[in-house]
Amino acid sequence: MTGKLTTIARPYAAAAFECALEKKALAAWEMFLNTAASVAKSPSLAVILESPKVTTKQRSDLFCEILDSMLDADKKNFISLLAENKRLPVLPDIADLFSQYRAAHEKNISVQITSAVPLDEQYQQKLSAALAERLQKQVTLQCEVDPTILGGAIIRAGDNVIDGSIRGKLNRLVESL
């Protein structure tokens, strides 16, 4: 997310989250926003969204028609509000922020582990348990392999980054010399 789009998306994501929380429909709203974000990212739809010939109502109606099976009155109003304020292209950022708000509310966190070699299941379980205890949240690991880090691992949990890679240590050593 870019800073400007995040700033624009934040109040909409917060409003959607509050509405979903009040209605006890976090999962339904998250699915709706993710689907709407996919629609907004569609190159063919981007042309329509940017066209000055298309009215606000037409934009809103188009989104509502595409997402019809997922919509209730609140979601229709949300799409109409975004269309009216020319914020439909920001839907991917709104969906990302909403997911972050939901994860924080449910005390879940997705942790990305980048290692030089694949991690076995037993090690992943130990790492997950240690991170859950440290972060006081339920942890979901997303593991990927990057041989360029040489050894060790890089752990990303939200805004926190722990660089325990050999490459990272070598870079810090070079900087200190």
Question: pLDDT, tens digit, for every residue of 6-49?
Answer: 889 999 999 999 999 999 999 999 999 999 999 999 988 888 87
The pLDDT of residue 5 is above 80: no
The pLDDT of residue 3 is above 80: no
d(CA 119, CA 111): 14
| Burial tier of 168 (Cβ tally within 10 Å: 0-12, 13-18, 19+) | middle
Note whether 85 and 122 are same-domain residues: no
Average pLDDT for 76-90: 93
- Percentage of the residues of the chain whose pLDDT score is greater than 70: 98
Note whether 80 and 121 are same-domain residues: no
Note whether 114 and 167 are same-domain residues: yes
Beta carbons of 94 and 7 less than 8 angstroms apart: no
In this structure, what CATH number is given to the domain that contains residue 162? 3.40.30
pTM of structure: 0.65
Range of the domain at 96: 3-103
Task: With H, G, I as helix, E, B as strand and everything else as coil, classify residue 19.
Answer: helix
